[in-house]
Structure 1
Amino acid sequence: MMQISFYVLSESKAQDFLGFICQLTQTALNKSSQSLLILAEDEALLSDFDEALWAQDASSFIPHQRLIANENTVDNIGSSLAPVLLGAYLPAEFNGIVINTTSRPVNDFITATSNTQPARVLEIIKPDDASVQDGRVKYKRYQQLGYELTHFKV
């Protein structure tokens, strides 16, 4: 069963959104051997994540790879050495951890033929009204699907 964790950000964490995502990515990688995907639909945000992950200090540099649309073949991902992927879609056969920064539930990104079933989803909820509202919609949707839900205020 898919586990979904909601991270409800405080104002200060939301102001350092990129820093928080990098920290969460590092923590998830430390606790698991699974690959991780940071899901974002905004190209500018993907670029920011790309830069932020490089900018971590040398001891905590996070190797990552940016997914390019239409290149989501299994060997492309399978041969990837980077444990962290950045993209606007879920690659076929992906079954690791997803950090979802989009306004939509992860299920919206899973196609019937892709055989994709993330082990765990980390939903990021910012303290603004739109993000909170999206979070409620996602929570209800996941609840209806019978997923295991937890939430943390950070």
Structure 2
Amino acid sequence: MNVSFYVLTENKAQDFLGFVCQLTQTALNKSNQSLLILIDDDELLATLDKALWVQEATSFIPHQCLLDSNIEGTDINVVHTDINYKVLAPVLLSPYMPANFKGMVLNTTIHPVNTFISATINAQPTRVLELIKPDATSVQEGRHKYKSYQKLGYELTHFNV
């Protein structure tokens, strides 16, 4: 699995929502895979939900929020598709990893993505996007994630943005 770390400048960190929306659109443009945005902050989830609807004046980024903790671990095909298994939205916002998820993950939590995956969930992310803000706490969390992914043998890249 490839893990990309995006080290944000102060300007990008100040417009965090804008950068997340921009990165989401870029990921969708470059891939036909679904994108899961892991968010464990309810306020950030609600704000990002609104921001994705108005990212550009003439368009929006279609997405679906998985908020009900009672469906945690539910098969992605149940929550992400209609009865004919047609994909409803290419982007999911969720505080957990849905079962059988296969696609990209944009991680906004302090935990490495592998901590959200268990044998019962059977998720297989293809790529992880990690955001590192320019503050001491975020940098320390980023180092922890980097070491965690490195131990698992993942391919690691970083971009200064």
Shared fold by TM > 0.5? Answer: yes
Structure 2 gaps, min length 5: none
Q: Give the TM-score of the pair, scaled to structure 1.
A: 0.95
Q: In structure 2, give the amino acid aligned to 1:141.
A: S
Distance 1:149 1:78 in 2: 31
Query: Does the CA contact (< 8 Å) of 1:77 and 1:91 recur in 2?
Result: no
Greater mean deviation of Cα atoms: 59-68 or 102-111: 59-68
Aligned-pair Cα RMSD in Å: 1.1
The aligned residue for residue 18 of structure 2 is: 19
Provide the secondary structure at the position in 1 that maps to 2:157: strand
Query: Does the CA contact (< 8 Å) of 1:4 and 1:147 recur in 2?
Result: yes
Query: Does the CA contact (< 8 Å) of 2:6 and 2:131 recur in 1?
Result: yes
Query: Does the CA contact (< 8 Å) of 2:80 and 2:89 recur in 1?
Result: no
Asked if 1:75 is matched to 2:78, the reply is yes
Asked if 1:108 is matched to 2:115, the reply is yes
For residue 76 of structure 1, report the CA deviation from its aligned partner.
1.7
Distance 2:137 2:23 in 1: 22
- Aligned positions, number: 153
Provide the secondary structure at the position in 2 that maps to 1:136: helix
For residue 60 of structure 1, report the CA deviation from its aligned partner.
3.4
The equivalences for 1:131-150 within 5 A come to 131-150=138-157
The equivalences for 1:4-153 within 5 A come to 4-68=3-67, 69-71=69-71, 72-73=74-75, 74-79=77-82, 80-153=87-160
Distance 1:140 1:78 in 2: 35
- The ranges of structure 1 where at least 4 consecutive aligned residues each deviate by more than 4 angstroms after the TM superposition are none
Distance 1:123 1:8 in 2: 8
Q: In structure 1, give the amino acid aligned to 2:81.
A: G
Q: Give the TM-score of the pair, scaled to structure 2.
A: 0.91
Structure 1 gaps, min length 5: none
The aligned residue for residue 3 of structure 1 is: 2
Distance 1:148 1:59 in 2: 37
Q: In structure 2, give the amino acid aligned to 1:49.
A: L
Provide the secondary structure at the position in 1 that maps to 2:110: coil
